[in-house]
Amino acid sequence: MNISEILKDIYALKTTPTYTDVQKWYTLTLAYKQKGYSSNKAGYLAAKEIFSSQLISEFSEANESLDVRNQIDNIDTLLSIIRGKK
């Protein structure tokens, strides 16, 4: 499974993100992390901004604030993989 497919699954997107979208998500996620957001929240905020037209449904406020360890590991792993490909 490639990064685009993983992002599609994590954020329940209608379509698979393009390479450019993945790069935008990466950059924006890092920017949100630098502002102090957790990996999960930073990734979600970036996805919400970049993939807004592709989101099947908005997450509820409760889901936005969840800091599930497994998801954080997934986001940090994806960021590391993308960083390694740059």
For the stretch 64-78, pLDDT in tens is 444 444 454 678 888
In whole angstroms, give the CA distance from residue 37 to residue 41: 6
The predicted model scores a pTM of 0.74
Domain total for the chain?
A: 1
* pLDDT number for residue 18: 92
Each residue of 14-50: pLDDT tens digit? 889 999 999 999 999 999 999 999 988 899 899 989 9
Gyration radius of the chain's alpha carbons: 12
Answer whether residue 14 is part of any domain.
no
Q: Which domain holds residue 55?
A: 3-9+19-85
Answer whether residue 58 is part of any domain.
yes
In whole angstroms, give the CA distance from residue 86 to residue 81: 9
Answer whether residue 57 is part of any domain.
yes
Say whether 55 sits in a helix, a strand or coil.
strand
* pLDDT number for residue 37: 93
Answer whether residue 42 is part of any domain.
yes
* pLDDT number for residue 67: 44
In whole angstroms, give the CA distance from residue 53 to residue 40: 20
In whole angstroms, give the CA distance from residue 51 to residue 48: 6
